[in-house]
Structure 1
Amino acid sequence: MRLTGLKRIIASVLPRDYRVAARTFSRDAWRYLMVAALQSIGLGILGTVFAIYIKDAGMTEAVVGDVEGALALAGAVTCLALPPLVARVGYRRLMVIAALALGLSRLGQAFAPTAVVVVGLGLLYGIGDGAMQTLGIAFLSEAAPARALTHLFTIDYTLRVGSMFVGALLGGIIPAAVLAAGATETVGLRVAIAVAACSMLASAVPAMAIEHTHPADVSTSYRAAIRGFTSWSRLVRLLIPEVLISFGAGLSIPFVALFLRHQLGATVGQIGMIQAASSIGMAVAAFGSPWLARKLGHVGAVVAMELLSLPFLVAVPLATGLPFAAVMLLFRGVLMNMSWPVYNQLSTAGIPPLERPLVVGWVRFGWAVAWLGGSVLGGRLMQHSYTLPWYLTGVFYAVGAAMTFILLRKVKIEVPVAPAVLESRP
């Protein structure tokens, strides 16, 4: 797909103020959005089929948790090591390497003979995932004027979840089509994982076209970057709530498909539809992010949405039927994630440009380590109970939301925004 095609697709669904803001985005911003879309399609497929494939292939819930832990561990190391490499290697090369790591690891997992190989390939995936997480926010923060950044982050987020919607649908359709052709469901799941891997590999193509390769004023020495680092207070205040929420999420979120499949008897196709509905709900709701930020403030918007999601989260393990669980998961996902674009802007506001990759890297490191602990523990808890981890997630989310308000409520974002760009009409 050419950049003009992507622009037309996005513009056709954007409110007017977003279309105005989008005209100020650089060409590299659009190239990055195409990278994100292709990777998110693959992620949507994997969210539907991967955990089910592991279980159907004769492995346990613990293996799912260990894979998540492996990618989190590799991602954590990558988040720490990457910031100085951005200046030496550049955004473009690192994004291409990340795309290859994401795609090749998942392709290998589709045909891996043992659990050890599956978990080992999770390390390679974690390198790609950690690289994209660290690079993405820092790269986008330089890809548009300050007045348009909230809109850019919102479009990035919306495009990602919209692409995950497509991927989730494919995750339900592909195994069913393979099954109808006479193969087993396990083979269909394997084919779906391979398709996801190919989509991620394809993201290397737009990544190779990125022109802005090196951020301005970023040190190539990690030691020098640490010595000159001035944002320690902000870093600590970002890390504490991130770690709490990530650990809580790791306890249950990687196992949603298994919960629906083995607790409520859902088919792969039904799981794909549920995941797709959740993705499209989050995509639509994200357009309200600028409005929420104006009405509640950036911190208020994040905390309010996190707290409002808790009743729906706690209701999920109480479900006795698939429709109720699907509705609860939909509202939980929408509310918990709709303020994410606002949080991305909040996490870099007021931080000097040369320190942003380092801040993002350390925050992602904390997130990844906490996800490692949560997913490994969650996998073992799920072997005994598909419901207990959800309640524990609720506790960690509540504490994380409270700490977000306590630690970040004084952060101010002053952006000179023209009224035509600021106004949102989702």
Structure 2
Amino acid sequence: MNSQLKKLILAGLLGGIAWGIVWAVLAPYLRMLGYSGSEYGLMGSTAVLSGALFTFLGGTLSDKYGSRRILSAGLVLQSIALLLISTGRAYYVAGGFFINGAANGLSFVAQEALLARTGRDEELHYTFSYVTAASTLGGGLGSLLGWAPVIARDVFGIGLVEAYRYTIMAASILPLATIPLILSISERMAHGKGGGYGLLEAARRFTRRFYIVAATNVLIGFGAAMSIHNIDYYFAAKYNVTSASLGSVLGLQQLAMAALMTQMPRLADRVGGVLKVYLALSYSSVPLLIAMTLTNNFPLAAALYLVRSILMNVANPLFNAFVMRLVPLELRGTASAFLSLSWTIPAGAGRAVGGWLLDKDLELPLRATAGFYTVALTVLALVFKDEISRGEDMSMGMTGEGLRDVLFE
């Protein structure tokens, strides 16, 4: 493992810890402050929509100036956002959600482009899987730190709301600690510089199957935002859990996914394709969404959620690497932005709708999500059925042009 990949893995680990802490603590914290499901969903929606705007900006700037600077700017914004949210004051929290969305938009697309420009193309499915596994491991460790506020309350007599606030403030330090690592990584650029293509100009270079992938992103993004993005509030409202229980569930999910993600590249090579692995696992997750709505037992619901989340997400890095290998170096930031926009824009609406539905019937968002996932995965299976049957979508023996023909015919 080279030094570049080690730096990316460490950066992913630190970023994951910060995200995991906030994921475990945020919903219980805001609910104790009196925020409703509709308010939580609406603020999440503004974060997703601001993320969409800055995703486009981040993609074009990453291609023109390089991904490292854009990723670092996103990390600074993330730290500021967490400090604002930690105050608990309505306007500051709303502003923090908006800024955090912008930070995530910049950071995600820049990180995807940076990964796609580090190392050889034929090894990208390993790079994406290992770095994502490290980030997921960090998310698991951070989620388990959801116990920290509860322990602080019991041992030191600190009010739980204050303990939540201090935990979010502490998490804001980690994005800043990641910046020196990011800036020290070398980045491959086409002809020594970025392309700087605008979205419309780049769009003319993408073809039919690329847009079909984007269309399935629309369905999955809207469906996921309706329920999975609000799942912390769902558990808090239905079972009245604290960040300790919630953090345990989310932490175990991330730890299991981190371990399994490192095995996915070898599995894809062995069975003959990432799409075959991705679809088989993702389809298996859908019935578990419905099963969650049929129980009132938290341990059982948590177990179903754990397995569902692992099946739906563990092969995502392979699929992301597959798409990036089909895009020229100078367009990988813009392509990442385009695909991210196709996911985040509908997700902004989906999160607001899901939050509204939570106030009407807690189970409706999960059931609707199962339907959206089924349609999206079926479209992918039908469009790529020939490639899946031949097992050629991720063959290491194919050339770059051969791979490109799979999606860009």
Q: TM-score, normalised by structure 2?
A: 0.89
Q: Does 1:257 align with 2:238?
A: no
Residue matched to 2:265: 290
Provide the secondary structure at the position in 2 that maps to 1:207. helix
2:23 aligned residue (47, 51, 67): 47
Alpha-carbon distance change, 213 to 181 in structure 1, aligned in 2, over 3 angstroms: farther
Shift of 1:128: 1.4
Residue matched to 1:415: 396
1:122 aligned residue (97, 108, 119): 97
Residue matched to 2:403: none
2:167 aligned residue (186, 192, 198): 192
CA contact (8 A) 1:251 1:389 kept: yes
Q: How is 1:13-52 mapped onto 2 (pairs within 5 angstroms)?
A: 23=1, 25=2, 27-52=3-28
CA contact (8 A) 1:86 1:214 kept: no
Specify the code of the residue in structure 1 equivalent to 2:81.
S
Shift of 1:228: 8.2
CA contact (8 A) 1:238 1:347 kept: no
Q: Does 1:111 align with 2:92?
A: no
1:384 aligned residue (350, 353, 360): 360
CA contact (8 A) 1:28 1:212 kept: no
Residue matched to 1:164: 139
Specify the code of the residue in structure 2 equivalent to 1:233.
R
Runs of 4+ residues over 6 Å off in structure 1: none
CA contact (8 A) 2:133 2:259 kept: yes
Specify the code of the residue in structure 2 equivalent to 1:219.
G
Residue matched to 1:81: 57
Residue matched to 2:46: 70
Percent identity over the alignment? 21
Residue matched to 1:152: 127
Shift of 1:297: 2.0
Shift of 1:180: 2.9
Q: Which moved more, 1:392-401 or 1:76-85?
A: 76-85
Q: Does 1:219 align with 2:195?
A: yes
Q: Does 1:242 align with 2:223?
A: no
Shift of 1:227: 6.1
Residue matched to 2:255: 280
Specify the code of the residue in structure 1 equivalent to 2:178.
S
1:210 aligned residue (185, 191, 208): 185
Which whole-Å CA distance do the structure 2 matches of 1:205 and 1:174 have between them?
29
Specify the code of the residue in structure 1 equivalent to 2:55.
C
Alpha-carbon distance change, 86 to 214 in structure 1, aligned in 2, over 3 angstroms: farther
Residue matched to 1:328: 304
Q: Does 1:58 align with 2:39?
A: no
CA contact (8 A) 1:66 1:119 kept: no
Residue matched to 1:403: 379
CA contact (8 A) 1:82 1:361 kept: yes
Q: TM-score, normalised by structure 1?
A: 0.86
Q: Does 1:356 align with 2:337?
A: no
Shift of 1:161: 1.1
Give per-residue Cα distances to partners, 1:306-330, cap 9 Å, x unaligned: 1101122211122221210121011
Q: Which moved more, 1:258-267 or 1:42-51?
A: 258-267
Specify the code of the residue in structure 1 equivalent to 2:103.
G
Which whole-Å CA distance do the structure 2 matches of 1:92 and 1:112 have between them?
32
Specify the code of the residue in structure 1 equivalent to 2:107.
M
Which whole-Å CA distance do the structure 1 matches of 2:240 and 2:137 have between them?
26
Alpha-carbon distance change, 202 to 215 in structure 1, aligned in 2, over 3 angstroms: farther
Which whole-Å CA distance do the structure 1 matches of 2:168 and 2:142 have between them?
11
Give per-residue Cα distances to partners, 1:284-339, cap 9 Å, x unaligned: 22233124423152212111111101122211122221210121011101111111
Q: Does 1:93 align with 2:69?
A: yes
CA contact (8 A) 1:86 1:215 kept: no
CA contact (8 A) 1:65 1:379 kept: yes
- Structure 1 stretches lacking a partner, 5+ long: 1-22, 418-426
Residue matched to 2:317: 341
CA contact (8 A) 2:283 2:377 kept: yes
Which whole-Å CA distance do the structure 1 matches of 2:308 and 2:202 have between them?
42
Provide the secondary structure at the position in 2 that maps to 1:318. coil
- Structure 2 stretches lacking a partner, 5+ long: 388-392, 399-409
Alpha-carbon distance change, 353 to 190 in structure 1, aligned in 2, over 3 angstroms: same
Which whole-Å CA distance do the structure 2 matches of 1:227 and 1:40 have between them?
31
CA RMSD of aligned residues (A): 2.1
Which whole-Å CA distance do the structure 2 matches of 1:235 and 1:316 have between them?
33
Alpha-carbon distance change, 351 to 214 in structure 1, aligned in 2, over 3 angstroms: closer
